[in-house]
Structure formats: C-alpha cells, structure tokens
Amino acid sequence: SHPLLCPPGIKCGGVLSAPSGNFSSPNFPGLYPYETECTWLIVVAEGSSVLLSFSHFELEYHNTCAYDYLQVYNGAAQDRGNLLGTFCGHSPPPPFSSAWHVMAVVFRSDRHVAKHGFAAAYRKDACGGQLTGLSGEITSPRYPESYPNDAECRWSIGGASGGGPLTLVFADFQMEGGQGCGFDYVALFDGPTVTAPSLGRYCGSARPPRTVSSTPHLLIIFKSDFNIGGRGFKAHFYSAGECQEVFTTIKGNFSSPQYPNFYPNNLKCQWSIQLPPGYRVKVFFLDMELEGRSSLTGACDYDHLSAFDGGTESGSLLGRWCGRESLAPVTSHSNRLLLLLHTDRNTAKRGFSISYVGVVPMNVSCTRTDFHIQIPVQSLAQLERNRIYLGTPSCAAQVVGRNFKIHTRFDTCGTESQRRNNTSVIVSTLYIDFSVGDQEDIHQYEVQCEPKRKEASVTLIAGPDPSRLSQAENLVDVQKWEGEAIDAREIKSQDTSDIVFISICILAGLLMVIAVVGLVLL
C-alpha cells in the first residue's frame, strides 16, 4: 500500500487564539498521514492560563515514544525545560494546566504504521488540571480579583519523574469564613484522589500552614457557594528531593533537578544547610551552567542561583550567579546557608553540582615559639581525641575541660618554616578524621603563624571527596596558585640576590682586612 502523505489541503498546526477551541491530528478520525509534523500554539489573554484535555488518543506505541508522538510544552518555545510530557500509544495524556497564557502542542509521525490520532480541546481560565512540574504556582479563578460563585476546581499535582513529597505554601489567602468551612473552602488531600487522607480544609482570612505530603501526589480542591466571595488564594508548590532539601550533616553534595540533563523551566528550588552552632558552611561549585546574563542589564535577570547567609531569603546575599562560570568557594558567616535556584519560562541549561563542608569552629593562636589550638568538644562530640591531630597522629589533641586542645612547639608536629609575601611564617596541617568504617573522610586545615606579630590563621584546605573538590579548587584557584608561584619565584630570586649581596660584603670585608694588614707590615 502507498504511504499516507499529508495532502496540501489539510490544515496542520497553527495559532489558536480564541478563548476556547478544539483541534485534532490530520484526517481525524481517519488514519493520520506518514512523515508529518504539526505544531499548534495556543495563545490566550495575558494573565490567563490554558487548560488542555484530550477526548481521543491513539498513536503508534513505542516504549520511549521514538516513532510517532505528541509533545505538550508549557509556553511557546520548544525548550527542553518547558516540556510537560511526550505521549504515544493508547493512554491519553492527563489534562494539563499551563503556567502562563501560552501552550504548544507538537505532533509527529514517522514513515510507518498510522493510527487514528487524537482530538483535543482547550479553554482559558478554566481552573484546575494536572500539574507535573517540580515546582509551580496555583491561584484561585480571577485572582487577585474576587473569585466567581459556584466554582469548583481540582488541581492534581504529581507525576514528575524522580519527584518526592510535595510542599505547598500559601502566599495569600482570603475567602468567605464559617464554622467548619462549609461555604467556600480549600481542601487538601495526601494523594491523587479525595479518598486519600485529608491534609486540611481551610477558609476565612488566616493563611493555611505550610503543608507537606507524604507521597509524590497532592490534590487541591477549591469550592465556592452561591454568594459572598473574596480575593481567593495564591500558593506555590515544590517537590522535595530534587527541588527542596535540608542538610544537617557536616558534609554533603547536591545538584539542580535532572542534572546533568537540562533543568526544567519555571522553578523555584531551595537547598538549606543547617549545621551545629559555631560551624560555618563552605560551598564548592563543582560545575555550573545556567542561562547567561541579560544583554540589556548585564545582570543575572533570567535563570540564577543565589546564596543567602543565615538560612533565609532575608539574610545577607553572599552571591548571585548565572551563565557558565568557574566560581571560587563561598563561606557563610553563620551556621546556616540557603541556596535558591530560580528559572524562568525558557532557555534551560545543564544546571549545577555543588559540594559543601562544615568549617569546624576553632580558636588558633600562637606565640613566637608555640601553636595553641582549641576546639569545643560539643562540635566534634562523636570523635575520640586521637582523631584530631596536628601534622602527625603522635600530636593528638588532649581533652581539657570542654575543649580539645593542642599545644605544641614549632619544632615538632610536622611544622615547617616558609616565606610568604616576604614574611617568615610557620605552617602545619591540622587533621580531623571523620572516617566511619571503610569510608575515609579526613578534613584538613592549614594553620599558620607569623611569629614576629604572634598572629595565627586557619584555612580549610580539604574536605569531603578530595578528588572532586581538588579538581574544583584547582579550576578556581589556578590564578591564585599562579600568583603564589610568582611570589615564590620573587622570594627565590630575592633569596639568591640576598646571598650574592652578603657574599660581596664578606669579600669586600676580607679585602679591607688584607689591605690594612699589608699597610701595617709595610
């Protein structure tokens, strides 16, 4: 039989701008043509959203939909970060609610096996729908204007690959109140249907508490009766695991959702590092590629990663990054640090990979001859004193009161004298061994003393996974090390020039002595 080719007269794809409408695959309900590609762009009024649903769906099946397929995109751009899903076979896609006023649908067939195709309908401002992203926003109909009477909306959140439990946070909430919330209300369920356990029913003007599901699904129902309305609500959701994590261990690592594949668009993800009091957090950027800077402002206006001291967005901003950069490590001033990833509606990239390590609280001081190191026992409560040593294991800490203490002379414990920036300094390495079983985990700190000034300093030089960190450190510290190499060459050349100068002085002195002796003898 001859392949079904798409006759020139058949309309395929286009822009759909009416408030509601229908579209289908070419020839529907007949067999669709071979080797066809159609794109429908649905555009409704700015500020509205699109609800897309399928009444019929039958495409050639393949387990990865590599032959014939239908793709739904959140927005105009066919950007991997906007893809809501790829579908084939006989199972229709779920209803989709767009995150803004544009949605794209792409249909493609190959040169073999035709089926009956699909029929779809869309409408603007229909509330509810299936939300599969790792994060997103939900509002009541017409928000922030008063919501309509006799409305009922259902948002089913979940189904994102690798998604964990979901967190829902209400930014605004104002509805008709009443005993038992029997008139207008928002009801939350810990699963995809109303048979799942209830997570609460809310009305009035008090914002509902932050809600966390125990499954990767969450159902939100909004209902209004025949009179008395309100402004409604605005809420954000995000998936735990890939998009929201809290770390309390002394070291760890994490990456952007779907790394090293492209991250989704329209994200607001957060990673919170919370360490014991006294610790600071040092973050190492192992890899980063986000959407670049704005050509208009030169700033990170699109996708960006931000770090805040103190664990909240109201803390001081430690940095805001985008594009493809090799970044120097960042250290917090407190024991808490918050990292936020914002992505906009298009242009996704590979994302980032990050490691962090807790900087142990310690007090390092020195005299002209000795190092004094003091670490609160509670900071390293699980460690034996012999796990903390300077230079060699024989120089282990002693427990004195509530502190681990190391008090040692400069001529012991692997200390060495160096010249840095034309200054003589005494340097050694403090080892803190967090290893458990076969898992080696030794953190290293360089302790340094300038004996003339009796000034000491300490710097974390190696933490978790030294190979990965050293690669990352090497990337960002090349210039620094080059600078130090230049310093070292200068120091070396100064040292040799000093030797030459002293030699000349000694030689001149000897010649003068010989001359004086000669004169006396004469």
Which residue segments constitute the domains of the chain, with CATH numbers given?
Answer: 13-125 (2.60.120.290), 130-239 (2.60.120.290), 244-359 (2.60.120.290), 363-462 (no CATH)
Q: How confident is the model at residue 10 (pLDDT cuts 50, 70, 90)?
A: low
Pick left, alpha or beta for residue 179 (phi over 0 → left; psi -120 to 50 → alpha; otherwise beta): beta
- The tens digit of pLDDT for each residue in 362-403 reads 999 999 999 999 999 988 877 899 999 999 999 999 999 999
Distance of alpha carbon 311 from alpha carbon 47, whole angstroms: 33
Contact 111, 35 (CB under 8 A): yes
Of 249, 240, 316, the closest CA to residue 281 belongs to 249
Give the pLDDT mean for 127-140: 78
**Which pLDDT score, from 0 to 100, does residue 36 have?**
92
Interval 190-215 mean pLDDT:
93
User: Mean pLDDT, to the nearest integer, of 314-338?
Assistant: 92
Distances, alpha carbon 427 to alpha carbons 29, 231, 493, in Å: 80, 65, 22
DSSP-derived letter for residue 94 is: P
210/244 Cα distance (integer angstroms): 14
Asked whether residue 479 carries a pLDDT value surpassing 50, the answer given is no
Q: How far apart are CA 403 and CA 376, in angstroms?
A: 4
CA dist 384 and 386 (Å) reads 5
Rank 44-58, 125-139, 366-380 by mean pLDDT and report only the highest.
Answer: 366-380
pLDDT digits (tens, 9 = 90+) for 17-49: 998 999 999 999 999 999 999 999 999 877 677
pLDDT at position 323, please?
Answer: 94
Distances (CA, A) of 209 to 206, 449, 465: 9, 52, 39
Percentage with pLDDT > 70 across the chain: 84
pLDDT of residue 467: 42
Interior/surface letters 424-463, b for 16+ CB within 10 angstroms, e for the rest: ebbebbbbbbbeeeeeebebebebbbebeeeebebebebb
Residue 480 has pLDDT above 80, yes or no: no
- pLDDT band at residue 422 under the 50/70/90 scheme: confident
Reference 473, options 340, 343, 330; nearest CA is 330
Cβ proximity of 435 and 383 under 8 Å: no
Let me know the angle formed at the C-alpha of 98 by 200 and 157, rounded to the nearest 5 degrees: 30
DSSP summary character for residue 436: B
Tokens of 352: 């980032």
Distance CA 519, CA 197 (A): 112
Sign of CA dihedral 242, 246, 249, 255: positive
Cα-Cα end-to-end distance for the chain = 128
Please give, one letter per residue, the 3-state secondary structure of 161-209. Answer: CCCCCEEEEEEEEECCCCHHHCCCEEEEECCCCCCCCEEEEECCCCCCC
Average pLDDT value over all residues in the chain: 83
User: pTM for the complete prediction?
Assistant: 0.61
Q: In the structure, what pLDDT confidence band is assigned to residue 173 with cuts at 50, 70 and 90?
A: very high
If pLDDT is split at 50, 70 and 90, which confidence band does 473 have? very low
Residue holding tokens 């669709």? 32
Residue 242 region by backbone torsions, left for phi larger than 0, else alpha for psi between -120 and 50, else beta: alpha
pLDDT in tens, 283-303: 999 999 999 999 999 999 999
Question: Are the beta carbons of 102 and 122 closer than 8 angstroms?
Answer: no
> Which residues have a Cβ under 8 Å from the Cβ of 353 and sit 6 or more positions away?
253, 254, 255, 256, 259, 260, 286, 287, 288
Q: Is the Cβ–Cβ distance between 449 and 371 less than 8 Å? A: yes
Residue 501 has pLDDT above 60, yes or no: no
Sign of dihedral through CA atoms 254, 277, 268, 135? positive
Cα–Cα dist 254/246, whole Å: 11
